[in-house]
Structure 1
Amino acid sequence: MKHFVGVGACYLDTILSIPHFVVEDEKLRASSIARRRGGNCPNTIEVLQQLIEQRAGAAELQANLVAVLPNRDAAAVNDIEASLGGQSVLRHCIYREDQVEPASSYIIRNTATSSRTIINYNALQEMTSAEFKDIADTLGNEAGRIPDVSLECMLYLRQQYPGVKISVELENPAREGLQELALHADVVFFSKSWALVSAESDYSAAASLLCCTWGEDGAWAYEPVSGMTHHAAAHHFGDDAVVDTIGAGDTFIAGILYGMLFHSQDWRCAERLRFANEIAGQKVLQEGFAGLGALMAEV
């Protein structure tokens, strides 16, 4: 069995919806509160699992999350397990047994504009390169998606497991070191903010695909080998209103990777881009990620 591996932070999100953003020292009553598991890689894995479940041969691929979590018996770990379908997805996670609180994200969502402010808190010690190498050796040459950990870990994968395929997501342009990681990745996902500040950078040294979402202007993909650029227009669903944009980018990534994993022969790049753009568009019309796989099976 092959493995799809997502390496990154796993959060528990608390989402407060408010009618408008407050000024300093102002009081405001939230219109709703929601709590759910978050984090870019876990979100992508949740959507990818749903898409895999809709096809025959789903058992051919096992999704794995590699994240730093608190004590195995912490209530938060049980919640995370349940959100991802059980312990098997978490069997390669690193547990800090002296901690009981997970990484947390507090999201203030402005319902008038669909914008949001995100405040993160994480007291867990970060994964070390030695811990990562032990996990990589356990998985062997079947690792699928290894996002941002460190350049040292990526170079280790390239040296020890030449057949591994690596993707990275460049989300925060202020975070140092991500540009170097992109130079060694097979697939690079850019945020709009990153693309705006680094438009002149060359990331095509190893990459076979570069992708970027652009909000209302849709999404773009570039294939360095052929020099072809593809664009998918943003999806519009009649009078349906945007409900929840949190995780839309993670959903888009799941769509692209699903296309690469299961439709490498029968879908061209433009078709994978269209599929990823559509499932991301469906996601913003609902809270959370539940049911996206079944929804895409119907369209």
Structure 2
Amino acid sequence: MSLVAIGACYVDTILTTPHYPGEDDKLRASKISRRRGGNCPNTLEVLQQLIAHDPSTAGVSLDLVTVLPAESSAASQQIQAAFKPLVSLSHSIYRDDFQEPASSYIIKSESSGSRTIVNYNELPEMEVEEFKKVADRLSNASWFHFEGRIPAVTLSCIHYLRQQYPSATISVEVEKPGREGLQDLAEEADVVFYSKGWAQGMGYQTPEECVQQQATLTRKASLLCCTWGQSGAVAFETSAQSLAHCPAYSSADFQVVDPIGAGDTFLSGMLYALLCRGDEWSLSQKLGFANRLAGMKVSQEGFSGLARALESFL
């Protein structure tokens, strides 16, 4: 079993502040931290923990396909080292003329618990022909997961996989509100993960409404999931017309500490459940595990130690 995740990789600089600064304001941050970010990299960071914690998944391999600066650059070397030994970046695309990675600068407000993100990326994006070469080298992969980043390119990549490797499972993250082309990606995928922001942008009032209405459009999809913040998440199996809802994870001493990457962590939980647990877990169990994992992430800084979520499930 092998999973290939395709998406952007960022280096995040996170400033924690008492509140958001106003225009032309000066504000002292209470904390600074730096870590590798990006939707697919975050998902793989947690997924590799789960696989390492579960002896029955020893045969699962993970690949990240992303655009990075020159392979010899300090940034690329650090990113590669951070993923060893379970996630391979050997099939990523390296831009020899660049030394700086894509970067995010995040202001996290202590008063509101929310965050504002400013991105910077001078790396040329992945082209369809580049992906085709990568896909051919990964022809034995059983699952391809795409961040819905550049829909036109991603759609061509999915079409290539459908033509050349029809047995591969394809999942897509539909996240960014107002981004044109995401609906087209959903209609070509086997598994679709919707965000609350995208769903509300499309006029859906609840996660149930989102997945059930989308099921009439996504004829190829076997599973649709939609996260809804504090209201939990919903999953819909199209063949059985089975709907599952799971409330957001909570505990007696639960506090929101770091919401950055919660959605990516939810994806880790669902991908683990789908890849490694299969029919062993019910849809409700899969959804419950993904929600628990995401809730545990929100209650701590960063992504370390999240494999402990498995202790109550295995």
| 1:14 matched residue in structure 2 | 13
The match for 2:88 is: 89
The match for 1:100 is: 99
How much has 1:55 moved relative to structure 2? 1.3
Aligned counterpart, 1:194? 198
How much has 1:86 moved relative to structure 2?
4.5
Deviations 1:191-249 (A, max 9, x none): 10111122355443111111111111111111122222111011112123211000010
The answer (yes or no) to whether the contact 2:188–2:218 under 8 Å persists in 1 is no
Name the counterpart of 2:44.
Answer: 45
The SS at the match of 1:142 is coil
Identity of aligned residues (%): 52
Find out whether 1:227 has 2:241 as its counterpart.
Answer: yes
Task: Please give the secondary structure, in 1, of the residue aligned with 2:260.
Answer: coil
How big is the shift at 1:89? 1.2
Contact 2:266 2:290 in 1 (8 A): yes
Residue deviations 1:68-92 (CA, integer Å, cap 9, x gap): 0001111111221222124961111
Distance 2:44 2:173 in 1: 14
Is 1:241 the counterpart of 2:267 in the alignment? no
Structure 1 pair 209–171 and aligned structure 2 pair: CA distance change class (3 A) = same
DSSP-derived class of the 2:15 partner? strand
Aligned partner of residue 43 in structure 1, secondary structure: helix
- Cα offset for 1:112? 1.5
Q: Once the two structures are superposed, what CA deviation does each residue of 1:50-108 show, in whole Å capped at 9, x if it has no partner?
A: 00111124331110000000011111112212221249611110000100000001111
1-structure distance, mates of 2:255, 2:54? 30
In structure 1, which of residues 256, 270, 279 is the aligned counterpart of residue 284 of structure 2?
A: 270
Once the two structures are overlaid, the 10-residue window that deviates more, 217-226 or 115-124, is 217-226
Question: Residues 96-147 of structure 1, C-alpha deviation per residue, up to 9 Å, x if partnerless?
Answer: 0100000001111111121110111110001010110001111114241231
Superposed CA offset, 1:138-167 (max 9, x none)? 111424123135211101101111110011
1:62 aligns with 2:57: no
1:155 is aligned to: 159
1:126 aligns with 2:125: yes
Give the TM-score, by structure 1 length. Answer: 0.96
| Cα displacement string for residues 154-188 of structure 1 (whole angstroms, at most 9, x for unaligned residues) | 01101111110011011112222111011010111
Task: Point out where structure 1 has 5 or more consecutive residues left out of the alignment.
Answer: none
C-alpha contact (below 8 Å) 2:19/2:110 kept by paired residues: yes
Supply the distance in 1 between the matched residues of 2:165 and 2:280 (Cα, whole angstroms). 27
* Partners of 2:110 and 2:125 in 1: CA distance: 34
- 2:168 aligns to what? 164
| Match status 1:217 vs 2:231 | yes
**Aligned pair in 2 of structure 1 residues 69, 87: CA closer, same or farther (>3 Å)?**
farther
Q: SS at the partner of 1:264?
A: helix
> Does the Cα contact within 8 Å between 1:12 and 1:38 map onto a contact in 2?
yes
- 4+ aligned runs moved over 4 Å, structure 1: none
Distance 1:135 1:232 in 2: 37
TM (normalized to structure 2)?
0.91
Q: Which position in structure 2 is the counterpart of 1:31?
A: 30
Among 275, 282, 295, the alignment partner of 1:281 is 295
Q: Secondary structure at the match of 1:245?
A: coil
Q: Which residue of 2 aligns with 1:173?
A: 177
Cα gap change, 1:227 to 1:295, in 2 (>3 Å): closer
- Helix, strand or coil at the partner of 1:166: strand
Quote the Cα distance in structure 1 between the aligned partners of 2:162 and 2:144: 13
What does residue range 65-84 of structure 1 map to in structure 2 within 5 Å? Answer: 65-84=64-83
| Aligned residue type for 1:150 | T
The count of residues paired between Structure 1 and Structure 2 equals 298
